[in-house]
Structure 1
Amino acid sequence: MAAAVRARGRPARRGPGSTHAAVHDPGDTDEDREVVENLELLESLDAASDLEVLLELAEEK
């Protein structure tokens, strides 16, 4: 379903600090919105994980 959401030509969703604003199409189904929200959450968690690794590396120096 996420591929179907991206296939509509919307900008990629990004986590916090992104230059891309989340765009919600009024024609989205509840399932589409749930998929987008889950994707945004996963991207946010990935960004937080990256930050955690960078902080650990900084502490080692």
Structure 2
Amino acid sequence: MRKSRSPFPSRHTYFIDIYPSYFKLHVRWLRLVTRITYLSKLIGTPSLAACLKLELFRVYFQII
């Protein structure tokens, strides 16, 4: 938590929290839709990755 300039005109003090964990790239590996009956067929099977859309959240709160 750090003190910063507030976008809100007021005489009260505002603080902004930015969560740095949302800067990380999150990748989810998706399972294949085909059914595999033999374990030997799993070798060389291409995988599919999906990157999740991330947003940066800023939380404004006021100390009176």
**Shorter-chain TM-score range:** under 0.3
Task: Name the TM-score, length of structure 1 as normaliser.
Answer: 0.25
| Larger strand share, 1 or 2 | 2
Structure of greater relative contact order (alpha carbons < 8 Å, 6+ residues apart): 2
| Larger helix share, 1 or 2 | 1
